[in-house]
Structure formats: structure tokens, C-alpha cells
Amino acid sequence: MDYKKTAEEILKLVGGSQNVASVTNCMTRLRFNLNDAKKANVETIKKIKGVQGVVTKNGQFQIVIGTDVGNVCEEIKKLGKFEENAAAEGEKNTGIIAAFFGTLTAIFQPIIPALAGSGMIKALLALLVAFKLVDPGSQTYQIFNAFGDALFSFMPFILAFSAAKRFKCNPYVSAVLAGVLLHSSFTGLNTGDPVHLFGFIPVTMISYGGSVVPILLIVWVQSYIEKFANKISPKPVKIFLAPMITIIVTGIIGITIAGPLGNLVGQVIAIGFNWLNDYAGWVIPVLMGTFCPFFVMTGMHYCFAPIQTIQYATLGYGTILGPGMLASNIAQGTAALVVGAKSKNKDLKQLGFSSGATGLMGITEPALYGVNLRLKKPLYASMIGGCAAGLYAGITGIHTFSSTTAGIFALPVYIGGESFSNVINAAITIVISMVVTAIATLILGFNDPAEEEKTEPALPEKEAAPTKPQGIKITIDSPVEGSIIPLSQVKDEVFSNEIVGKGAAVVPAKGEIHAPADGDLVSVFDTGHALGMVTKDGVELLIHIGINTVELKGKYFQIHAKQGEHVKKGDLLISFDIDGIQKAGYDVTTPVLITNTADYLDVLAKQEGNAGVDLITVLK
């Protein structure tokens, strides 16, 4: 995959950098917060090579890429010069519940790779001990145990840094506050005797190592204290006075109120899930095994990570994510593999095998969006298989001893306890998921695109005639004076490859854009570099003045018409300074595109000469 090219295409089609409030990524998808989601060309984005699907949920515009998503996101950030800290801006109007889950997701997403890596190290160590390749009393064991356990022992540091980025406060001050909770001078006071600050403020002594909720509350408090400290600190001494006030005030609130309150919340959550484990242990794996695809679609699966981490800290094992997600992920991968084996469509067969294999490894988005959700019936089959396997996992009470991506290679995280029964039951869970899902997929079947394509051409030509009349020509004049060049020569692959639509390009000789036909202006960019209109005949036009001229932010452009206005052919819409734009280093070549090209029999454009009447002819 050409990451830069893919990033450029996506950024253009979501409305350009000016339409992006923020962008980040999880393990398989880009997550945009767009200023105006209506500007995103969803159908064209889906056609970009490497894009598996598009989802809009809880105010986020999500593009499923797969395991290459990190590279694509990095290129998009370079192109748009986006700040990660802006992530919350696009969610400010999404509601309290959406904002809460969005906050949890944003905090835990960045640490997922570290959690997965650390979990697999602990699983590997358990495997080496089980096969007597490493002695638990050896120095080698101690060193590797430190590799795998460091994240969990010093979880407040990791979460402090991630939470600070979300709450827009100084992450290094947040790390200092996490250090207070784990510092030997503070933890050394935990001898059983009452502890008081200033002799009269009670301090509840808690073991904060591996805790989750306390540091999140403390950093949230810090975000407000820090703003106040920066506001009241005089400029000459702000550099040391503001952080000093923040550390002292937040630290006091943290060890007396926020920390104990967060610990209480964590204990209540743990008690609730322990009750479920004791009296209805099958419920969570069944629900997760059945409905995990929908949690993945909405990103809700990340919101269970804090609860899972609390379980590890309090119980030493987890039941929230691992068993149910193992059943579901294996089912997703199996359904896609069956589709790959049965399909006669070459592209679907290849996608089924590749995404199915990835799904068995625990990364299910390519299988979910590329195959199962698209065909629907394989999704239902995977839910049946996930439910059956989740029920077995719940009844046998399997649990994970460390956190990692739920897939075949995650079996070592089930090694622990006095016997191998836990990992054996996890292996049986995988088998049940694969067998039940495969049978369900074969029974339910799916509509193979290859089979549909074979039946359609069988109709006589006159019976397959389109409902729209044929032979009608619609002509579009050039909106700008200048020389015509083929669209293929435009130095922007989104235009030259006709990703947005067919059309022509004009090298302007005069800096004026006039209406090429009667119609309505459906969009006029504030920067003046582009506009969209629908002619009276229903032709959708995009006129884009120059290449990458959105970066000029309106300089050298003057808008003469408003969005929503009805215009007559020849009306002046936008004027622009050709010399100024060129001196600024930008190409003024202006593509004129028919964005609803697919609605017509053909779109014919002049390839050379002077731009004037009949620049483009649309046949329908």
C-alpha cells in the first residue's frame, strides 16, 4: 500500500484538512472528528484501495483500513498538521454518554499495544515455565517477569500520560502526580496507623500500584487546577509557580479525595463483576461472544479495558474481555474463511482468506467490514458460533492471566493455576467457535456476487433497458477562460485518476469563475478555492480552483455568491488572483468534475483547445 497516496485521497474525500477537527487511529481504523460530516464522500472513500469500510458512530467518522492504519494515519497527520490533543473538539456536542465513552476510548487506545505486548511476554514466560524451560527461581525469570509486569505495576504512570493528553494538561506534571502515589515516602506510611496531612486532614492509605480509576480522576482534577494556576501566576515566575501550585493542590486533593474515591469506584466495579462471575459466570462470555461485532463497530470494546485492568489488579485474572472476545474473534475469522472457500468471485475469495486469517489472529475489522457485515448472513453465523463458544467458555469459567489481543496465538495467556484445565478449555472454546460458525455459515449461505453477476446479463437487451431515456445530451460550458488540458495531466491523483468523477481541467487565463449552467450552489468553501453546484438538469458539478489551494486559507480568493443560492449561467461566482496564487507556489489548474458520473451513460470532455462552450457533454 502507498500510505501517502492513500492518505492524500482520504483527506481530500473527507472534505480536506479544513474539515478535520482531529484524527487518530486504533488498531485497524482511522477515527476522524469532522467539522461537517456531510462533506465526506462516503461512497468514493469506500472505493479507495485498502479501505475496508466506513462507519459513522458517536460523532466519529471512522474509516476501516486494517493493520496498515497506523502508517496511513501518520501520513494524514503530516499532510494536515493535526494535533492529537484536538481529539475532544469534535465530540463536544455528542452528548454526555458518548463523551464519556469517547474519553475512555481515547485514553486507553494508545496503550493497547503496550498492554498486548506486555501480556504476551507474561504468557510466553508462563509457557516457558510450564514446559520447564525456565526456572521460576532463576534470574532469567526475574528479568523477563520485569519486562512483562512493568506496565501493570506502574499503570498510574502510563494512564497519567495518556489521560493528560485527553484532558489537555501537562503530561509530565501528571506523571509526577502518579509518582506521588507510588513513591516510597508515601507508600511507606501505609503501616496500619492513621495518616494525617497537617495533623488534621485524614489520608486514606491505598495501594495504587496497578490501579486505574484513581489516576484518571486525579488528572481530570489537574486539568482544572492547572488552568487556574496558569491564570493567576505572574508571567515572570509562571514557569515554576504554576506547576508548583498544580502539583501541591492536585496532590492534596488526589491523596485525600480523588484517589480514595477512584479506588472505591474500582472496588464497586470489581465487586459487581465478581458477583456475576460467582452466580452467572456464563453471562458475560455469552454476551461478548454474541454481540462483540457490534461493540467493535462502535468502538465500545475499548471501554471495557478499564474494567478488565481493575480485575487484573484486584483478582490477578480477567473474565470481561478475553473469553468472550476469543469466541467472537475466532468466529469472525472462520466465517470469512468459509466465504473465501465457497465464493466464486475472485476478489471476494482473496479478501475472505486474507481477512479470515487476520481474524483468527484477533484483528477482526477486515473480516467484519470487508466480508461478514457486507454479506450479512456470515455475520449472523459468526454470532451463532460466538454465542455457542462463549457459553462453553462461561460454563467452564476460563479466564486470562494477562491482557492481549484475543486470537489463536493468545492461548498462552490462559496458562496459569495448578493445572492446564484453563488453557485446555480455551482451546476447546476455539474449536467450538470454528466448527459451529463454519456449519452455520454453510447452512445460512450467502449471496455470492459472482453468482449474481452471471444471472443479470441473461435478460434480453430490451428487457434490461434502463428506465431513464437514452440519447439525451447535456452540455456544460467552461466556468473559466483558459486552455483545456486532459484531466489525466492534473498533478493530483484524486483528480487525474477520476476518483471524484470524470471531467476536464482548465489552465485559467482570467481569474474569474462563472456559472457554467443554471442551477443551485450546494456548497461554497469558505476558503473560496472550490464550489459545488447542481444544474437544472441534475448534473452535480465540482469546480476546484488550483491544486492544494485550500492551504492558502482564502488568501487571493473573493467569493461573490452564497451557498444555497440559485444562479444563472454566466453569473460571477468567485474571483481569484492568478499571479498571487502562482507566486505562493501553487498550481492554478482548475478541474471541472461531474461528481455523479455513475448516474449517466457517459461523460465526454474536450481534451484541448480554448475553454468555452460545451466543455463537457453528459449522455443519459
Nearest to 325 by CA among 285, 361, 385: 285
Q: Which residue among 169, 544, 560, 566 is the active-site one?
A: 544
Instruction: Give the burial string for 277-304 (b: 16+ CB within 10 Å, else e).
Output: beeebbebbbbbbbbbbebbbbbbbbbb
Q: Which of 505, 510, 483, 481 is nearest to 492 (CA)?
A: 505
> Active-site residue 544, yes or no?
yes
Closest-CA residue to 161 (of 179, 175, 147): 175
Q: How far apart are CA 104 and CA 320, in angstroms?
A: 16
SS3 category, 63: strand
Distance CA(25)–CA(31), nearest Å, equals 5
Nearest alpha-carbon partner for 21 in 3, 4, 40: 40
Is 535 within 8 Å of 566 (Cβ atoms)?
no
Is 26 a residue of the active site? yes
Cβ contact 84:32 at 8 Å = no
Burial of 571 (0-12, 13-18, 19+ CB in 10 A): middle
Alpha carbon distances (Å) from 556 to 295, 470, 514, 531, 581? 47, 43, 17, 16, 7
- Hey, how many other C-beta atoms are within 10 angstroms of the C-beta on 602? 10
C-alpha cell at 430: 476455539
How far is CA 525 from its chain centroid?
A: 26
Q: Which residues contact 503 (CB under 8 A, 6 or more apart)?
A: 487, 542, 591, 592, 593, 594, 603, 605, 616
Distance CA 447, CA 427 (A): 32
Find the Cα–Cα–Cα–Cα dihedral 418, 421, 422, 428, rounded to 10°. 170
Q: What is the DSSP letter of 28?
A: S
Phi, psi at 20, each rounded to 5°? -105, 115
Q: Which of 26, 73, 292, 387 is catalytic?
A: 26
What CA–CA distance (Å, rounded) separates 582 from 527? 16
Q: Taking a C-beta distance cutoff of 8 angstroms, is the pair 545, 573 a contact? A: no
Cell of 188: 511507606
List, in sequence order, every residue forming a beta bridge with 572; answer none if it has no partner.
514
Q: Indicate the SS3 state at residue 565.
A: coil
Residue with cell 445530451: 473
Is residue 63 within 8 Å of 76, Cβ to Cβ? Answer: no
Look at phi and psi of residue 81 and say left if phi exceeds 0, alpha if psi is from -120 to 50, else beta.
left
Q: Which residues of 468-501 are buried (b: 16+ CB within 10 A; e: fewer)?
A: eeeeeebebbbbbebebbebeebebebbeebbbb
Which three cell numbers, joined as nine digits, stand for 330? 475466532
Contact (CB, 8 A) for 600 and 618: yes
Helix (H, G, I), strand (E, B) or coil at 181: helix
Q: Active-site residues: which are they?
A: 26, 544
